[in-house]
Structure 1
Amino acid sequence: MAHDHDHSHHAGQDSQRRLAWAILLTGGFMVAEVVGGILSGSLALLADAGHMLTDTAALALAWFAARISRRPADEKRSFGYHRVQILAAFVNGLTLIAIVVWIFIEAIRRLLSPVAVMGTPMLAIAALGLVVNVVVFAILHAGDRDNLNIRGAALHVLGDLLGSVAAIVAALVILATGWMPIDPLLSVLVALLILRSAWKLTRESGHILLEGAPDELDAATLRREIPEQLEAVCNVHHVHVWSLTPGRHLVSLHAAIDEGEDRQAALVAIRTLLVERYGLDHATIQLESRHQCADAPEEGAGRQG
Structure 2
Amino acid sequence: MSTRHSRAAARLMMTPSVLLLLGWMLIPLGLTLYFSFLRYNLLMPGTETWAGWSNYYYFLTDPSFTTAVRNTLVLVGGVLVITVAGGILLALLLDQPIWGRGIVRLLVIAPFFVMPTVSALVWQNMFMNPVNGVFAWLAQTMGMRPFDFFGRAPLASIVWIVSWQWLPFATLILLTALQSLDQEQMEAAEMDGAGPLSRFAFITLPHLARAITVVILIQTIFLLSVFAEILVTTNGGPGMATTTLTYLIYVQSLLQFDVGMGSAGGVIAIILANIVAIFLMRMIGRNLDR
Asked whether the two chains share a fold, i.e. TM above 0.5, the reply is no
Larger RCO (alpha carbons 8 Å, 6+ apart)? 2
> Which of the two has greater helix per residue?
2
Structure index of larger Rg: 1
| TM-score normalised over the length of structure 2 | 0.28
